[in-house]
Amino acid sequence: MPHLGFLLLVMLIGLCAADTKGKCRLHPACAILGGHCVKDPTDPIDCRGRLVPDGCRPGNCQCCIPGCPEDEGFFLLPSTNQCFKYFKDRPRNWTESNELCLAENLVMAQPYDAVNLRSYIVQRYGFYSEFWLGACGDGTYIQWQNNGDIIRSTNPLWYPNMPGNRITPVYCLLLLANDGQWKNDPETPYYSEYYVNVRYTLCE
């Protein structure tokens, strides 16, 4: 018969494992930036700041850095509390935009409220352009790079007649952020564009 102390130890280990299962674990890369882990970054109350990749474990957790410093080019979208940074120095292709975001310890934008984001950008900054977002084609759908979620062709955010056959890996997602498109089609900000074309960069 197993020793009573051994059985108690096994039970304690089991309880500890159950207690930590599914919880976010802070990585030094997040801690050094003063961040904390959030399990559901789509919930506005979970992160009032900007999200940083690879700062927490497991993969469904993300590192939240409090604050959104506008003096550094960031802006906060009130409807979701997402913190974005745009780069208007020059247009870039999708690959260059992705590299720029990563170099800034950011990721390409994945807005949870694309309609309000487009409206906010046009009204506040007067943009007459488009921004690359963090999604590209996989041959069947347009897929977000950050979490692997797909954007189906039936998604109501697509601009008229999009994406059509523009779902191969050479096509990536744009946020249409110009005054004319905003006024004519206010609810459809998504557009699939050839990745080598140059547009502005939007990170978060």
Per-residue pLDDT of the chain in tens (204 residues, 90 and over written 9): 444 443 333 333 333 233 344 678 888 878 877 888 887 655 545 676 777 766 788 767 888 887 788 888 899 888 887 899 989 899 999 999 999 999 998 899 999 999 999 998 888 877 667 999 999 999 999 999 988 999 999 999 999 999 999 999 999 999 998 877 778 888 999 999 999 999 999 998
Determine the pLDDT at residue 29: 77
Say if strands 36-38 and 62-66 run parallel, antiparallel, or are unpaired. antiparallel
Determine the pLDDT at residue 46: 63
d(CA 86, CA 121): 10
Record the pTM. 0.73
Closest by CA to 167, choosing from 181, 150, 185, is 150
Q: Which two tokens stand for residue 65?
A: 């850095």
d(CA 35, CA 137): 32
